[in-house]
Structure 1
């Protein structure tokens, strides 16, 4: 690889680039170079105030947003001029970020943070701007709180995905979910020239206004592509959801992939602390479980299988995000660990991928060599992603097919030629694929008994168990299955019990074969099952760990305390 290029940049605050620096920009990005060529004076003025060798703070970004949304009288502009101003500001910032990245003058973390802060600033501005226009027509949205008092409703804008984790890329869309506090209506008054509408309509129009300001493509382009498909029920559902509806959705309909999505959820901008706390009180128990989350294993297997099937069907080696060993695989590894262990280890409840990866290493869930490989691959792939997107400001993760841009991409990233880049890329992909293949592998099977837990073997095993059990124990087992407790189990708990039963039968037969004590263990096992069925996550642990279950049965036959202690622990 070629050496890094910070030395190419002039020192001090000189905004006039050298010919070599301009060549770097032209090589890296047709999009950014056209901005420079078409508005050179504006770019020079911008870079004088915000040099390439400096970073941007959130305050500077907010000040820029304010400056670019004023009219010629330094008053807040009308909607058309606001949209134009935000889009022109984006072009200047994109030109600067692409140039900084090509010159290797900005770290991955700093670049993604500045991109995310710009998105956050634009979202907050768009919300405030639209809100002021709406209350002038309808008054403020209100609801009656639990104390019977009238309270102003507010809408929290939840940033999901890369924006939620403060790791937005150069040409990313922004995934948002709108959440407001409660049903109600605005305090519009015809005597004051306003009219009342319900909060649902108000929040819908607020959301639509935000999307219009940021997403609508005009002659000046766009600010951010806005994607609302992650909201409960997806496309076609209400644009904004209130807290009680979100709570109900999480409880009854939330799916495993949504836990992945909400893991990175973050409130953009300022809302009242009680509202913020109420949102967090819903999200945290939905995403994280205090115990080791064995219930996630099955869902994670399905998600991993889906990823593998998509890769196999597409044979898409050009996609550095979705292809084998790509960005998605790294994120899956990290987020799977967070989902399973994050409830027990609060330090895992961080959102950026690199931060979570470091915590996993510190906790021992990732070996040092695996951590080193994953973080190196992630950094390489994210910088490659930025370089691909910089070419024409396109939301893509595909390697270019054009030989000209293949060469330019390689040079921009410090390689001598395209083949050298591909060699490095494939090495990183291989390093990612090894831990990805190890993640949430197929459900554990008992040692040396690979086939006994298959459905077609269960009836034969139950018949063998009936031959082994005494008449009293057969009746005890039958009474358990016919009990009111089992009949009243939730659908999820009953499904977990059915999944665990083949493992239990197998473990009892193994114990009978080894020690002839299945009849001693069974009554205590049923006492244990009656306790853990009420907290069915333990049934998942049995199903996921047949070897551990085989070890549990002898303990039950040896000591009635085991079953009793499980019962007391569960109810403490």
Structure 2
């Protein structure tokens, strides 16, 4: 009996199910008949089929090394169908084996990124340019590209849709580089933050220009409004599918714009910016906006004056707000006003003592989180809020910063990893604790990004389904080997890191922990 070659899948007249399964079984497909159907659908033209047969073995090897081989091949068929010229695509992949690997791992790793490629196949050729794939994008590059295009587009909706299109492409670039380990976790978080800053700034420009055309402008108002980033964006450590925490600030109430007051003008500007970022059109959305960190939360003004913020913080600032304000950073509009705000809140953050009451406030916050996680049965599976998760690391860093930052200005860091390093330099955490928390933070942020890049969904929970957990583990670089199944290896590492984080957290906030918060006399 003639031994079958892998090319026979495409070139032999007809193979039975057993023969197909025999050829495809080495490549890890859960559903070989479906995989074969995808292959058969990729090329009808004889010349295209010959080209596909030439790369078939390399394609199947690359697909087998992706997080989900079945998904990768299914999306490859759809991508090939969407490509304007299959001959060009297959020839390019034949001449560029590395680009075949990039494509297969992307398609097998993230339906979100796969759909971007299928929607805009030309992005693949842009992405796989060595000057693009092997280097991160600088903020000024993105800003220049935005400025050039926005000047040409005159319609507000077209301008906002352009931001959505550019975001899609840039998220593909960041996601693929992260997936292929072409950059560190820190670089991924920074790239996501840089992109968000550029797009929020562009949205501000579009919306403020439109509002000026409608109402005119209060005297000095163009130099009197700023967008403040909070949370992960404020710290320059945004995750893959994150809301952006924003606050809107204007300089004064003592101006008018035509028939409306300055406060009404800036309220409308805040609403317009929020809508421009939030709105979902045929091109997607820019960012989901969360304004709940502003004074009074959902009940507060969407935008407020510098004096309004000052009055609130003087009378009603809570411990959680002191921690949250550590990460505040102006990302659009009048940066001088933003710096004035930072100078103003610095006193509220650091001048009040971080006493036993403040420590108990943090404990209370954590107890409430733990209760919520227990109700949802998420304490051991939520990367962000679960036991030993990201939030515990943030609470350690932020609490010690607020407590000791009044005397030590070098502790006033927005970024969590830089804050941990500064705390270590001042002997407020040990070198061992710093290393443990840093390694755990990078691991957990990597897990969080991989969970979210699958479907561009804001999830923080490990999958309960074993198959989905295995795909997550493979995304993170774990594969079945002598040390165990991929999912088991990943869970061991997850439990190792979260266990160590929780021990440090309990040590700092437990019975003997408050000595860490004692002030030097």
Q: Structure 1 residue 287 and structure 2 residue 341: aligned?
A: no
Alpha-carbon distance in 1 for matches of 2:254, 2:470: 59
- The Cα of 1:408 is off from its aligned counterpart by 2.2
Alpha-carbon distance in 2 for matches of 1:406, 1:298: 36
Alpha-carbon distance in 1 for matches of 2:375, 2:200: 38
Q: How does 1:87-126 map to 2 (within 5 A)?
A: 87-126=164-203
Corresponding residue SS for 1:142: coil
Q: 2:50 aligns to what?
A: none
Q: 2:233 aligns to what?
A: 163
Aligned residues: 420
Alpha-carbon distance in 1 for matches of 2:346, 2:234: 15
Alpha-carbon distance in 2 for matches of 1:343, 1:199: 35
Q: 2:441 aligns to what?
A: 378
- The Cα of 1:291 is off from its aligned counterpart by 6.0
Alpha-carbon distance in 2 for matches of 1:375, 1:94: 25
Corresponding residue SS for 1:59: helix
Q: Superposition RMSD on alpha carbons, in Å?
A: 2.7
Alpha-carbon distance in 1 for matches of 2:436, 2:392: 13
Corresponding residue SS for 2:451: helix
Q: 2:429 aligns to what?
A: 366
Q: Is the 8 A contact 1:333 1:436 kept in 2?
A: yes
Q: 1:565 aligns to what?
A: none
Q: 2:26 aligns to what?
A: none
Structure 1: gaps (5+ residues): 9-13, 144-150, 188-194, 446-540, 549-568
Q: Structure 1 residue 302 and structure 2 residue 364: aligned?
A: yes
- Residues 88-147 of structure 1, C-alpha deviations (whole Å, 9 max, x = no match): 11111111111111110011222111111111111111112211221222221237xxxx
Q: Is the 8 A contact 2:156 2:210 kept in 1?
A: no
Alpha-carbon distance in 2 for matches of 1:291, 1:173: 32
- The Cα of 1:294 is off from its aligned counterpart by 5.1
Q: Which of 309, 313, 332 is the aligned partner of 2:375?
A: 313
Corresponding residue SS for 1:51: helix
Shift in alpha-carbon separation, 1:234–1:209, aligned structure 2, 3 A:
same
Q: Is the 8 A contact 2:230 2:329 kept in 1?
A: yes
Runs of 4+ in structure 1 off by over 6 angstroms are none
Corresponding residue SS for 1:426: helix
Q: Which of 256, 265, 269 is the aligned partner of 1:186?
A: 256
TM-score, normalised to structure 1, is: 0.69
Corresponding residue SS for 2:397: helix
Q: Which of 257, 262, 270 is the aligned partner of 1:199?
A: 262
Q: Is the 8 A contact 1:357 1:371 kept in 2?
A: yes
Q: Which of 491, 496, 512 is the aligned partner of 1:422?
A: 491
92-101 vs 31-40, which deviates more? 31-40
Q: Is the 8 A contact 2:223 2:333 kept in 1?
A: no
Q: Is the 8 A contact 1:325 1:429 kept in 2?
A: yes
Alpha-carbon distance in 2 for matches of 1:181, 1:334: 31
- Residues 499-527 of structure 1, C-alpha deviations (whole Å, 9 max, x = no match): xxxxxxxxxxxxxxxxxxxxxxxxxxxxx
Alpha-carbon distance in 2 for matches of 1:385, 1:363: 30
- Residues 536-562 of structure 1, C-alpha deviations (whole Å, 9 max, x = no match): xxxxx9xx99xx9xxxxxxxxxxxxxx
Q: Is the 8 A contact 1:157 1:178 kept in 2?
A: yes
- Residues 317-372 of structure 1, C-alpha deviations (whole Å, 9 max, x = no match): 22111110111111111111111111111111001000000111111111122111
Shift in alpha-carbon separation, 1:216–1:444, aligned structure 2, 3 A:
closer
29-38 vs 304-313, which deviates more? 304-313
Q: 2:402 aligns to what?
A: 339
Shift in alpha-carbon separation, 1:226–1:292, aligned structure 2, 3 A:
closer
Q: Is the 8 A contact 2:117 2:124 kept in 1?
A: yes
Task: Point out the structure with max Rg over C-alpha.
Answer: 1
Q: 1:436 aligns to what?
A: 505
TM-score, normalised to structure 2, is: 0.75
- The Cα of 1:86 is off from its aligned counterpart by 1.1
Q: Is the 8 A contact 1:142 1:184 kept in 2?
A: no
- The Cα of 1:184 is off from its aligned counterpart by 2.6
Alpha-carbon distance in 1 for matches of 2:232, 2:474: 27
Q: Is the 8 A contact 2:249 2:303 kept in 1?
A: yes
Q: Which of 42, 48, 51 is the aligned partner of 2:129?
A: 48
- The Cα of 1:183 is off from its aligned counterpart by 0.7
Shift in alpha-carbon separation, 1:381–1:404, aligned structure 2, 3 A:
same
Shift in alpha-carbon separation, 1:304–1:286, aligned structure 2, 3 A:
same
